[in-house]
Amino acid sequence: MSLRSDTLHKPCGQMKGQGLGTQIPDTQLMELILRLQKAIEDYVMQLETRRLWQDVVPEEGRHNEATKEQKASLIHSMYQVVNLLQSGATGGPELPLSRLSLDSSGDVGGRHQAQSSRQPDELSYQLNHLEAAFVSNVLSNHGNDITASYSSFVQTFVTYLKDNYDEDKNTSGFINLSITENKLCTGLITERLSQSDMNYIDDTLLQYSDYKGQANLREEVARFLTDYCKAPAPLDPENVVVVNACLPVFSALSMVLCDPGEAFLVPSPSYPGFSLTAHLYSKVELIYVHLNSEVTAENSRLFQLTVGKLENALHEAQLKGQKVKGLMLINPQNPLGDVYSRDSLKEYLEFAKRHTLHVIVDEIYLETVFDESITFHSVLSLESLPDPNRTHLIWGTGKLFGSAGFHLGALYTYNKEVASAVSIYGILHSIPGIIQHRLCRLLQDREWIDKVYLPTKHSRLQAAHRYVTSELKALKVPFFNCGAGLNVWMNLKEYLEPCTFEKELLLHQRFLDHKLVLSPGKFYMYNEPGWFRLTYSNKMPHLKVAMHRFSRALAEQKQALAEK
């Protein structure tokens, strides 16, 4: 049964025919699932302790008894979840399990009664029987694993799409401030895409094209990155590979640079798509370098990535026998919105060169800096890269032009061998020819981009950020204040008691109860509970409704804590 602690940030309690946690049984189910998680962790810990003990002394009876008790607790928690599904969930799964009589409190404390009424052989049989009810016999082990890990996330998004907020047609729908979509200038984009030059079609656009991307699009991407990344010399279109979104670029890079089991260093909190992609395809490990949320002797500012942290993470990985092949950076950073200085960027690249590591820099948030006091430095702007053959850039149009549905992801690498290897993945991940033509025309229209689109986008992004952060200040919610990106990283530890990831998940559920989708920090592989990400690149009327719901949810949470 694939229930892992690193996947419990995803919305739970989803039932057929219901919204995202709007019914009372969902809260009960979530509480039981959290107990089930604890029971599983205790059981696994007991087994590990037993194994280590056996290495020192022969098996003793008390270890057997402790393991039996943990196993009984685990089975009891599983049955509680199943019983609730069978009795209270409309259209819930029909599992072939007899009901278990619970004690009056319904707590895991009833495990002693469950243990006394069953023999060890029966417990093992029931555990195997229950596991079989949850694991598909059709899917492979990998299929079962990814389904268990990500189906809740996918279902949450599908439910949001079916019940999306509309100020005229559906005022009770969900507002999603979790997914990073730029909706500030959709009117400008749709108007530009409606012009006649976008409607060109010829025979070649309907046929297979170069798997690296159409030549004219790659040329335009190279020119665009030369100008907006301020490259010291014109970039070579032959070093550009275009596929359908940035994650496929990362996936292809990880597969051509690493063998299964090898690893990348990734600063945390970090974009969860990397973890998803590595898990789905490449089998590359991600080693998270956790950043401090407080100023320390080593960190002069919050969430500072230092070479010392990178060196320590690399050293610890090597002690564990892990082979690290690269460093993954996002600039401006997601979810923090932080922008690396030129000097810091050089230090990270020098660190990578010392250890013969590849550096992948995701700059999809290029041109989202709205604070005039901040200067963005692209990795392509550096006059002399420490190791150009191991330096690779990922870029896309989704955040810049609010066109995530176009799915353009581009790789720029100085290593033609890497470009050639990644281009082979275009067989599976190419962009339709008609879309490539439209993207090319969009990038070519520099007058519209510079004089109409970018000034409007920066102004609206700044206004949205100002509004959301002023609301957070009024609510006395601390946040990491940056002048770039599309999100704000905020601290809600005050609303968790105790401050654990389980309570973080329950607070996330409370937001869902108010038809508001936010992202808990666990989703970004962060090691401190209580942090949430909020996307503010939305239409102002939607933001105002969303922040009203946010305020109500926090007030309700505060009242619940006071009553407790």
Is residue 152 in a domain? no
pLDDT at 10: 36
Same domain for 324 and 342, yes or no, is: yes
CA-wise closest residue to 418 among 236, 214, 213, 241: 241
Q: What is the pLDDT of residues 92-140, one digit of tens each?
A: 333 333 333 333 333 333 333 333 333 434 444 444 444 444 566 788 8
Same domain for 256 and 356, yes or no, is: yes
Is residue 191 in a domain? no
Is residue 219 in a domain? yes
Is residue 282 in a domain? yes
What are residue 552's phi and psi, to 5 degrees? Answer: -65, -40
Is residue 22 in a domain? yes
Q: What tokens does 269 get? A: 């909190």
CA-wise closest residue to 174 among 156, 160, 154: 160
Q: What tokens does 344 get? A: 């810091």
Same domain for 397 and 512, yes or no, is: no
Is this model's pTM higher than 0.75 or not? Answer: yes
Element (H, E) at 392: strand 391-396
pLDDT at 223: 98
Q: Is 63 exposed, middle or buried (0-12, 13-18, 19+ CB in 10 A)?
A: middle
Is residue 41 in a domain? yes
pLDDT at 544: 97
Pairing of strands 240-243, 409-413: antiparallel
- Domains in the chain, number: 3
3-state DSSP assignment of residue 446: helix
The domain containing residue 76 runs over which residues? 5-139
The set of residues, in sequence order, having a beta carbon less than 8 Å from that of 113 and lying 6+ positions away, is: 103
Same domain for 205 and 119, yes or no, is: no
Same domain for 388 and 501, yes or no, is: no
Rounded Cα–Cα distance for residues 487 and 499 (Å): 23
Is residue 194 in a domain? no
Is residue 148 in a domain? no
Instruction: Extract the residue ranges of the chain whose pLDDT is less than 70.
Output: 1-28, 41-136
Q: What is the CATH number of the domain that holds 333?
A: 3.40.640.10
Q: Which amino acid is at 376?
A: F
Same domain for 426 and 281, yes or no, is: yes
Per-position DSSP letters for 231-289, written without gaps between them: -SSPPPGGGEEEESSHHHHHHHHHHHH--TT-EEEEEES--THHHHHIIIII--EEEEE
Rounded Cα–Cα distance for residues 523 and 527 (Å): 10
pLDDT at 44: 65
Same domain for 54 and 175, yes or no, is: no
3-state SS string for 80-105: HHHHHHHHHCCCCCCCCCCCCCCCCC
pLDDT at 94: 34
What's the angle, vertex CA 141, arms to CA 139 and CA 145, rounded to 5? Answer: 95
Q: What is the pLDDT of residues 259-290, one digit of tens each?
A: 999 999 999 999 999 988 888 888 899 999 99
